[in-house]
Amino acid sequence: MKIKLFKQEIEGSSIRQIERSSGEVLKNCYQCGNCSGGCPVSYEMDLPPSQAIRFLQLGKVEEVKKANSMWLCVGCQQCFSRCPKSVSAANLFEALRQMSLRQGKDHREIRDLPVSFLEKAPQQAIVCGFRKLVS
């Protein structure tokens, strides 16, 4: 990939919104990779947590939005609990999801869910899932 860096993007409004919404400061991350090392789903992510954060640091929000990472993050907080700089990738992914959901784009349609699931699955899974994936 080739990217051009601009101050306007690095300090752009999307970045500021993500920081506000997540309560995280992107510059604090020093890219040690611990989050990606411990994240149980990073193996499936287009951009593992640390790399997603890296693109945000560079001001490249779209790269991260394009990736599946935020929809895979389960909020287990393993990343945060082991981050030496107390950065929570979970919070950042939440912020990105919110950004996306607030634009009214659902990640999961209820009617796509199998009936068997709705019958058997614990309520909490359904409630939680809807909160995370649906606007």
Residues that bind ligand SF4 (CB under 6 A): 29-35, 39-41, 49-50, 53, 73-79, 83-85, 87, 89-90, 93
80 binds other proteins (CB under 8 A): yes
7 binds other proteins (CB under 8 A): yes
Residue 49 identity (one-letter amino acid): P
Give exposure, 62-86, as e/b (b: 16+ Cβ within 10 Å).
ebbeebebbbbbebeebbbeebeee
Report the distance separating Cα 95 and Cα 23, nearest Å: 9
Report the distance separating Cα 1 and Cα 129, nearest Å: 33
Count other Cβ atoms within 10 Å, centred on residue 91. 19
Report the distance separating Cα 69 and Cα 78, nearest Å: 15
Smallest distance from ligand SF4 to CB 79, Å: 3
Partner whose footprint covers residue 107, from ligand SF4, other proteins, none (CB < 5 to 8 Å by kind): other proteins
Partner whose footprint covers residue 132, from other proteins, ligand SF4, none (CB < 5 to 8 Å by kind): other proteins
Is the distance from CB of 75 to CB of 90 less than 8 angstroms? yes
103 binds other proteins (CB under 8 A): no
Query: For binding to other proteins (CB under 8 A), which residues are involved?
Result: 1-5, 7, 10-11, 20-23, 25, 27-28, 30-31, 40-41, 44, 50-51, 54-55, 57-58, 60, 71-72, 74-78, 80-81, 88, 90-91, 93-95, 98, 107-108, 113, 117, 120-129, 131-133
